[in-house]
Amino acid sequence: MIDNVMLDYLIAVIVVLVTVILVFLIFNFVKSKQLSKTFQDLIAENEKLKRDISEFQTKIKDIKDSSRDFEIKFEKVSKIIQGFLRISQKSYSEFFDGLLDLALSVVPEAKSGSISIIDGREWKFMAIRGNGKNPEKLKSLNLKSEWMISIPKVTVIEDIAKSNEKRVPKEYSDMIEEAVGGHIYRSIAIPLKFGNDFIGNCFLDALSDIEFSESSKIVMEEFGILASIFLTLKRLETLPHLSINNTLRVIVNFYEMKNSSTRGHSENVAYLSVKIGEKMNLSPKQIGDLYWSAIFHDIGLISIPDEITRKESALTKEELEIMKTHTFIGEKIIDPYDHLKEAAIVARSHHECFDGSGYPDGIKGLDIPLFSRIVSVADFFDTIKREGKVSSTDDAIKKIKERSGTYFDPDIVKMAIEVFPYFKR
Ligand SMILES: [Fe+2]
Ligand SMILES: [Fe+2]
């Protein structure tokens, strides 16, 4: 009996024990599952934290870098501003040397450089820095303005000699490299402006295969803006040739704008005259003088009353005499400027005729200055076209041929009829 009781008791104990063990095992199993999940979560969290830390470190580095960049930029821009204030006191020609030295001092990659300006039809080097043979000699080259590369904003140009290949004769590119003292791998270039007009550029050159840093590009952008402002002020202050020409050009444009029949006349005459001049192989300097002479040929018209210049019916004898005075009045307007001597002559004699029947002096043949003989053909062509006296370019050329030897120099007519058919304005 006792044995049976003992056995039941033993079984009960075993069942309890097994149950406890099972519960313990199940509990542990669940717990370990939870732990494993928690552990995985922890690993994931840890990874995320590592990523966050790394991102944070990168951000700190970026902030440090940009603040360093800002510091460098700020330092350079203040250096530029101080430099500008210093060089603005210098004469017009020394101003360009100062400008170039300043640019080179803030772009460490550049070892040479130049500043070029467009003067009428010419491209002039105003400042050169380099280690080659006599860099200053570039200033005396006769370069055409259309050879100059025109850039709207800061630009890095690879191998300028190569990119100039189709524009600039090779001997000039070679001379430039010789003057700066080596092959120009790349250049950082900025446009120089007078008001809104492109008037030249500043090139800084790398003479080894080195890239320009972002900081150099940004600094040069600021430099270009400031250089243009200071250059504009400098030119207005000193009234050099170009300012005089541009001021006079404004007067011509203003006069032409008032009268729809003359709008664009001087620009057209200048374009056609230059085409004849190029056909005659005139030098770049002569082409420049011819261009400005043609621009100003009718400047004396500003003194003629509007009732006469705008009159649609034929002029009376007295009115015609008044009209003729635009020649020597034009000469008087331009005469005070030494660099416009040729233009003053053309203003006076562009209505002279080859047979001596013109005005105001009645001179004839080769006594009429060359530029006046050229401008008079261009003037006639543009005038009869805009006044509707001919129905086509062929007609206009026919009329010019009819006047060869009487109104016009036959040699100039020969050149003109070759280039005028291409005039599409
Ligand atoms: Fe005229
Ligand atoms: Fe004219």
Q: Cα of 397 to ligand 2 centre, how many Å?
A: 17
- Identify the sign of the CA torsion 70, 75, 76, 80: positive
User: At what angle are helices 241-258 and 265-279 packed, to 10 degrees?
Assistant: 130
- pLDDT at site 243: 64
Q: What DSSP designation does 387 have? A: T
What local confidence, expressed as pLDDT, does residue 15 receive?
Answer: 73
Q: How far is the CA of 378 from the centre of ligand 2 (A)?
A: 9
d(C-alpha 346, C-alpha 273), whole Å? 12
Chain centroid, CA 294 distance in Å: 25
**pLDDT band (50, 70, 90) for residue 62:** low
Between the CA of 285 and the centroid of ligand 1 the distance, in Å, is 24
Q: Ligand 2: distance of its center to the CA of 375 in Å? A: 8
Ligand nearest to the backbone CA of 273: 2
pLDDT tens digit sequence for 257-305:
777 778 889 999 999 999 999 999 998 889 989 999 999 999 988 888 8
- Decide if pLDDT at 365 tops 90: yes
The phi and psi torsions of 204 (rounded to 5 degrees) equal -120, 130
Please give the distance, rounded to the nearest whole angstrom, from the Cα atom of residue 380 to the centre of ligand 1. 9
What is the number of the ligand closest to the CA of 328? 1
The pLDDT tens digits for 25-56 are 666 666 666 656 666 776 777 777 677 767 76
Instruction: Quote the ligand 1 centre to 323 CA distance (angstroms).
Output: 9
Structure confidence at residue 366 (pLDDT): 97
- How much is the mean pLDDT over the chain? 83
Instruction: Name the CATH superfamily for 92-238.
Output: GAF domain (3.30.450.40)
How far, in Å, from the CA of 350 to the mean position of ligand 2? 8
Starting from the CA of residue 326, give the closest ligand. Answer: 1
Instruction: Report the DSSP beta bridge partners of residue 193.
Output: 198
- The pLDDT, as a whole number, for residue 137 is 80
Q: Which CATH architecture has domain 241-422?
A: Orthogonal Bundle (1.10)
Residue 206 zone, left/alpha/beta (φ > 0; ψ -120 to 50; rest): beta
What's the confidence (pLDDT) of residue 373? 98
Distance (Å, rounded) from C-alpha 424 to C-alpha 382? 11
Q: How many helices (H) and strands (E) does the chain have?
A: 15, 6
pLDDT confidence of residue 193: 83
**What's the CA-to-centroid distance between 393 and ligand 2, angstroms?**
18
Cβ-based neighbour number of residue 270 at 10 Å: 24
pLDDT at 355: 97
Task: Give the separation between CA 367 and CA 370, rounded to whole angstroms.
Answer: 9
Name the closest ligand to CA 378.
Answer: 2
Classify strands 112-119 and 122-129 as parallel, antiparallel or unpaired.
Answer: antiparallel
Question: Nearest to residue 147, comparing CAs of 118, 127, 126?
Answer: 118
pLDDT digits (tens, 9 = 90+) for 217-228: 888 887 887 788
Domain boundaries, given as residue ranges, for the chain: 92-238, 241-422
Question: What is d(CA 169, CA 189) in angstroms, rounded to the nearest whole number?
Answer: 20
- Alpha-carbon distance 122 to 230, whole Å? 22
The C-alpha atoms of residue 22 and residue 13 are separated, in whole angstroms, by 14
Ligand 1 centroid – CA 281 distance (Å)? 26
In DSSP notation, 92-124 reads HHHHHHHHHHHHHHH-TT--EEEEEEEETTEEE
**How is residue 180 written in tokens?**
């700066």
Tell me how far apart the alpha carbons of residues 54 and 48 are, in angstroms, rounded to a whole number.
10
Question: What's the CA-to-centroid distance between 297 and ligand 2, angstroms?
Answer: 6
